[in-house]
């Protein structure tokens, strides 16, 4: 088994255990996170309820981003796939801002869910040259983080624009999602210095 798969499985289990209640009868079946744009709240509830039914009684609970704003205490997420993202650049940036924890490498929307739930504080993705980010990989996660109190922009500090087709056109270098504005400013401020010394 590949080393990165072992890392993924351990990271996935770590996040999954936080995304579901251990007392939930559907704890191994997943959760649904949702929000309404402009609502100022995000919610989470089990995917299935008793006897594997999709009947959703009012069991949702509000989720909020973490209050951690010290990089030394923050947990950060990055993609598992190395083909379309630069782990080496992210590692250098993480070191430059004082992130001490190992990255949590997980697939798909789990990164956004972890931040919205308060289980991680930072998501960084810097695509390799030529790779185009697809809007469906980010739109729902961005909305949920923002409504849960977080901040998501491109690496230049500009909001992501989902209105120009299937790709995130005009994306400045990468995507930064953080639990709060202070942490976000710290990461954005370090991007330029790290970028200028990188080979991306």
* Binding site listing for Mg(2+): 137
DSSP 88: H
CA 147 to chain centre: 14
Q: Specify whether the CB–CB gap between 42 and 148 falls below 8 A.
A: yes
Annotated binding site: 137
**Residue where the block lists tokens 């005009």:** 170
The first and second tokens of residue 173, run together, are: 């270098």
Q: Specify whether the CB–CB gap between 66 and 118 falls below 8 A.
A: yes
Q: Specify whether the CB–CB gap between 103 and 129 falls below 8 A.
A: no
Sequence-distant (≥ 6) Cβ neighbours of residue 107 within 8 angstroms: 8, 12, 79, 80, 81
* E strand or H helix at 95: helix 87-97
Q: Specify whether the CB–CB gap between 177 and 66 falls below 8 A.
A: no
Directed axis angle between helix 3-19 and helix 110-117, to 10°? 40
């Amino acid at each position: 088994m590949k080393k990165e798969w072992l890392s993924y499985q351990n990271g996935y289990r770590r996040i999954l255990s936080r995304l579901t209640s251990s007392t939930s009868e559907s704890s191994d079946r997943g959760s649904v996170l949702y929000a309404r744009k402009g609502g100022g709240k995000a919610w989470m509830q089990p995917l299935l309820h008793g006897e594997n039914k999709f009947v959703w009684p009012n069991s949702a609970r509000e989720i909020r981003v973490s209050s951690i704003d010290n990089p030394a205490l923050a947990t950060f997420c990055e993609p598992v796939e190395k083909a379309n993202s630069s782990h080496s650049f992210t590692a250098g940036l993480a070191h430059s801002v004082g992130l001490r924890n190992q990255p949590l490498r997980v697939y798909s929307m789990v990164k956004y869910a972890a931040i919205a739930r308060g289980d991680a504080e930072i998501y960084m993705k810097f695509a390799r040259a030529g790779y185009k980010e697809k809007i469906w990989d980010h739109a729902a996660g961005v909305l949920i983080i923002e409504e849960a109190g977080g901040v998501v922009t491109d690496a230049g500090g500009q909001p992501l624009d989902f209105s120009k087709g299937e790709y995130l056109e005009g994306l400045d270098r990468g995507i930064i999602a953080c639990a709060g504005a202070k942490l976000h400013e710290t990461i954005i401020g370090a991007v330029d210095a790290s970028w200028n010394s990188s080979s991306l």
